[in-house]
Amino acid sequence: METPNLNYINELSGGNEEFKIKIIGILKRELPVEVEVYQNEVDKANFLQAAQAVHKLKHKVSILGLEKSYYIASDYEDNLKDNSVALKNDFEAILKAMQEFVIQL
């Protein structure tokens, strides 16, 4: 499994430490909320709403440098739209890794 990293954020910030800190702050604030929304929708079997939550989370997957995981998230989003939870465990492992990484920042 891939490891979350700050490579994209570092590249995006171009050495601007203030901008980098701002992006990290947004991640720390938004990620737990978006994961909770996703989890609530999956728990209630609201698959279309869960797919929308996954769509929002996909952007954070890519921001944290998880290129292969982005494709898993994208496929999982499509599965949810088809009322399937195939790839759920894979996606939730990605979320866990992201949350653990962001907490340490």
pLDDT in tens, 41-98: 999 999 999 999 999 999 999 999 999 999 999 999 999 999 999 999 999 999 999 9
Query: Do 105 and 26 touch, CB atoms closer than 8 A?
Result: no
Residue 37 confidence class, pLDDT cut points 50, 70, 90: very high
82 part of a folded domain: yes
85 part of a folded domain: yes
2 part of a folded domain: no
Residues of the domain holding 98? 7-104
Number of structural domains the chain divides into: 1
**15 CB contacts (<8 Å, ≥6 apart)?**
none
Both tokens assigned to 11: 């590249």
d(CA 34, CA 44): 16
65 part of a folded domain: yes
- pLDDT, position 1: 76
Query: Do 51 and 77 touch, CB atoms closer than 8 A?
Result: yes
d(CA 66, CA 5): 8
